[in-house]
Structures are given as C-alpha cells and as structure tokens.
Amino acid sequence: MLSGDTYWAASGAIGRLAANLPATARDGRVYLLPLPAWELEALWEVLLVFRRAQAGEPETAELLELVQELSGTLFSPSRTAAEFVADLESVVAVLMLDIPAVRTLATALVLDAPRDLAVHEAYAQISAAWEAAGVRC
C-alpha cells in the first residue's frame, strides 16, 4: 500500500486541477495547467493501487471497500468504484501524454503564439492520442 502522503499529494493534484478548470472544460479547448512531476507520480501510484484493488488483490480489499463506500457519497451523481477508477485513468492518461505535439501546443499557449498550422496539427495529434487512450474530449 501507499503512504498517506502519496494519497494526499494525489488528492491535492486532483483538487487543484478541478479548481482551475472551468465547468465547461469539455468544450474542445485545451487548458495548460502546470503539475509538478512528484504529484503526477503520486497520481500514477494511486491509480496502480486502485487497479490492484479492482483486480481483487487481498491486501487491497479494505481500500476497495472504502472507495466503494465513498464513491456513492462524494460524487454527484453517484459513481461506482469502477467508474471512479476509469475517471482517474482518463485524468492520468491526459496528464502523462508525452509526445512532441504536447510541447508544441504548450509552447504556443505559454507564448501566446499565433495559432498556425503546426499548432492546429499538434492539437489534432493530441486529441487523437487521447481518443486512442479512451479519453473523451
């Protein structure tokens, strides 16, 4: 299992992402939000433990019970533990995407560069990669 600090770091990362994304984040736009590598690592580690719990590993039984119990009360509408893990997988897939197109688009956003053909192609490549990973854009 993981330390409480790892869960705390992952929780903080998700909280900050949620607080900084507009409610209409699925509007086809890309948002650039910095995330320290250690927080991304914490999210990955938590996801791996949740996957082990879903697979039924005995040492994770209590965690799965807790996630199932809290999923119905923390989310509106209610989420099952499987839906919760799938949502976390989508978040991690988006955050861990490391292809040249990400750097092209991030650079254009940071520098407020003109949205030329290279930027549009980078957006298309990112969207295709996310779609291939099962992330709805």
With 60 as the cut, is the pLDDT of residue 76 above it? yes
Please give the C-alpha separations between residue 130 and each of 35, 72, 100, in angstroms, as whole numbers: 18, 27, 14
Which pLDDT band holds residue 121 (cuts at 50, 70, 90)? very high
Which band of pLDDT confidence, cut at 50, 70 and 90, is reported for residue 136? Answer: low
Quick one: pLDDT band at residue 57, thresholds 50, 70, 90? confident
User: Model confidence at 28, in pLDDT bands (50, 70, 90)?
Assistant: low
Do the beta carbons of residue 47 and residue 85 sit within 8 Å? Answer: yes
Helical packing angle, 100-111 and 117-132, nearest 10°: 130
pTM of the complete model:
0.75
**pLDDT digits 0-9 by tens, 6-18:** 989 998 898 888 8
Closest CA to 105 of 121, 126, 119: 119
Question: Binning pLDDT at 50, 70 and 90, where does residue 50 land?
Answer: confident
